[in-house]
Structure 1
Amino acid sequence: MTMSEPTAPGEDATIAQLEEEGDVAADYLEGLLDIADIDGDLSLDVRAGRAYVSVENEDGGSLAPLSDPDTVQALQELTRLAVQNKTGRFSRLILDIGGSRDARRSQLESLVDRAVARLDEGASQASLPAMSSYERKLVHDIVADRGLVSESYGEGADRHTVIRRA
């Protein structure tokens, strides 16, 4: 495999580059799963300008230790670094383990619902806790679907979302 043209963090990657990211990520994750002696089936996809890698197996219980949101986030960052090291490009790859992303989206929907309830009770705005850029993007999408407005504030690990009425 040859190293593709570097892509800066703000630039969009081509489909071929995203597919390459998925392949590199899958190789890296297969190695990790082998070390941990965990069976997993990997599937690769390209959606919305990102490579998505999902790890599933029929015995979801064996993936349970890896599907905790903090663990998925850590493994995603390690996988992104492995991809960047191999391709020379910044990666925005998304990792899902055992349906962890769907579970997290449901948690974020509940969080937004509680914030909306605070707005319904008269609050002018509702702040959510700090979260990753991917989670903030999901929150912005959920908030927009509910006809509200959201903005992110803060820097680094303290970056959080504030919701208000339009």
Structure 2
Amino acid sequence: MTAEDLKTPTGASVDELEHEGDVAADFLEELLDIADIDGDLNLDVRQGRAYVSVEAEGDGVSVLSAPDTVQALQELTRLAVQSKTGAFSRLILDIGGSRDTRRRQLETLVDAAMAKLDAGSTQASLPAMSSYERKLVHDIVSDRGLVSESYGEGADRHTVVSRG
């Protein structure tokens, strides 16, 4: 058995995730060409997922790096990968550092929730967000010594923070 054959926590091999990243990069390169946006793509495998980062220059990146736009492009890219490979994709798309920016925003939301708890609330609800964002929130909350749980279904799924 080679290192490439090893399964990641999501059950996919590193080779499978690298192939997923390659398919995603091909799709995104065509999309950037259509939009006439110059950019470099970087591929990685992180935490059992293909991770595609787009570093673009000029005004195009500011438009593409808005959280809702990144989410929509990520879903389109996942569908393109699924169409090509026949397998469900959980790839993560980052455009112009959008993931780091979103993490900082989520940290601010958790800090506000902590302030509510410090002021006497027993729990604080955060807005609905994607599964990836909820995972980040759970990690941030845990790092701050608090407890979090997700509630709701579909687009209404949100995280509630408490002291435990």
TM range (shorter): over 0.9
CA distance in 1, matches of 2:159, 2:52: 26
> 1:61 offset after TM fit, Å?
3.4
CA contact (8 A) 2:10 2:49 kept: no
> 1:127 offset after TM fit, Å?
0.4
Alignment partner of 1:119: what SS? helix
Q: Is structure 2 residue 158 aligned with structure 1 residue 160?
A: yes
Alignment partner of 1:27: what SS? helix
Match among 113, 120, 133 for residue 118 of structure 2? 120
Letter in 1 for 2:18: E
Q: Using CA pairs below 8 Å that are at least 6 residues apart, which structure has the higher relative contact order?
A: 1
Q: Aligned residue for 1:15?
A: 14
Q: Aligned residue for 2:131?
A: 133
Alignment partner of 2:79: what SS? helix
Q: How many residues align?
A: 156
CA contact (8 A) 1:119 1:164 kept: yes
- Structure 1 range deviating more: 99-108 or 59-68: 59-68
Q: Is structure 2 residue 19 aligned with structure 1 residue 53?
A: no
CA distance in 2, matches of 1:95, 1:164: 30
Q: Is structure 2 residue 32 aligned with structure 1 residue 33?
A: yes
Cα deviation 1:100-147 (Å, max 9, x = unaligned): 000000000000000000000000000000000000000000000000
Please report the TM-score for the alignment, with normalisation by the length of structure 2. 0.93
Alignment partner of 2:44: what SS? strand
> Could you tell me the percent identity over the aligned residues?
78
Alignment partner of 1:90: what SS? coil
Runs of 4+ aligned structure 1 residues displaced above 4 Å come to none
Q: Aligned residue for 1:4?
A: none
CA distance in 1, matches of 2:12, 2:79: 16
Please report the TM-score for the alignment, with normalisation by the length of structure 1. 0.91
CA contact (8 A) 1:84 1:91 kept: yes
CA distance in 1, matches of 2:40, 2:61: 11
CA contact (8 A) 1:60 1:98 kept: no
CA contact (8 A) 2:10 2:48 kept: no
Structure 2 unaligned blocks of 5 or more: 1-8
Cα deviation 1:49-81 (Å, max 9, x = unaligned): 000000003x35331110000000000000000
Q: Is structure 2 residue 65 aligned with structure 1 residue 67?
A: yes
CA distance in 2, matches of 1:89, 1:14: 13
CA distance in 2, matches of 1:164, 1:46: 33
CA contact (8 A) 1:33 1:40 kept: yes
